[in-house]
Amino acid sequence: MIDQLGFQHVYQPPTAERSGTPTLLLLHGTGGTEMDLLQLGRMLAPEAGVLSPRGKVLERGMPRFFRRLSEGVFDEEDLKVRTAELADFIAAAAAHYQFEPRRVIAAGFSNGANIAGSLLLLRPEALGGAILFRAMVPLVPPALPHHHDTPVLISNGRQDPMVSVDETERLADLLRRSGAAVTVEWQSGGHELTPQDINGARRWLEPLI
């Protein structure tokens, strides 16, 4: 069931009392749900609020955040529409749950990282930062956005059969040319998340909390 804010989702308020605590926007991979990354979110930032939507596109029954034509080949028109929908959902959720929209930090895996990348490129106001695990170039916009040092971590695997080293570098370059402050952390493995990803992301996130 899609709720009044537009996405089936979980929201958990921050456990810290102080103001300015960020909200982690958790974006699952293909076949995931809004429950998948809740534990990851707690490991990354135990005190942060959490907003975790379920992707609305179904690929043979598997939830995703946008359509693809084949593996790694995206339906760009759908991606643009879904990116706008997700940005509007974040704004609606911020008003509804009373969190600061500029303090939203995405943490996305695979398909979730790709829509987070698309938010950074098409709706730069939607996120205050992003952790992209196993991300690809989602699309190249006709005009680059203007970020003011939005912090972005790309944590990709050197042996990933789905995302080449070259593609990771193209994504980092695209985001840097858009004004984002990009850190790339290389993991030795493939497409699966490892404890090193989580430790690296936790360290990267610490000064932003």
**Interface positions with ligand MLT (CB under 6 A):** 29-30, 68, 71-72, 110-111, 114, 162
> Of 19, 84, 12, whose CA–CA distance to 50 is shortest?
12
Q: Which residue in the shown chain puts its C-beta closest to ligand MLT?
A: 111
Catalytic residue, chosen from 28, 52, 160, 178, is 160
Which residues, 6+ apart, have CB-to-CB distance to 136 below 8 Å? 72, 113, 114, 117, 162, 163, 167, 171
Distance CA 156, CA 21 (A): 27
Closer to ligand MLT at the Cβ: 68 or 80? 68
70 is catalytic: no
Closer to ligand MLT at the Cβ: 38 or 162? 162
Closer to ligand MLT at the Cβ: 31 or 145? 31
Q: How far is CA 41 from CA 6, 9, 38, 79, 109, in A?
A: 22, 14, 5, 25, 12
Please report how close the Cβ of residue 53 comes to ligand MLT at its closest, in angstroms.
Answer: 15
Catalytic residue, chosen from 78, 88, 164, 191, is 191
Q: Which two tokens stand for residue 25?
A: 């926007």
Catalytic residue, chosen from 52, 110, 118, 155, is 110
166 is catalytic: no
160 is catalytic: yes
Distance CA 85, CA 116 (A): 12
Catalytic residues: 110, 160, 191
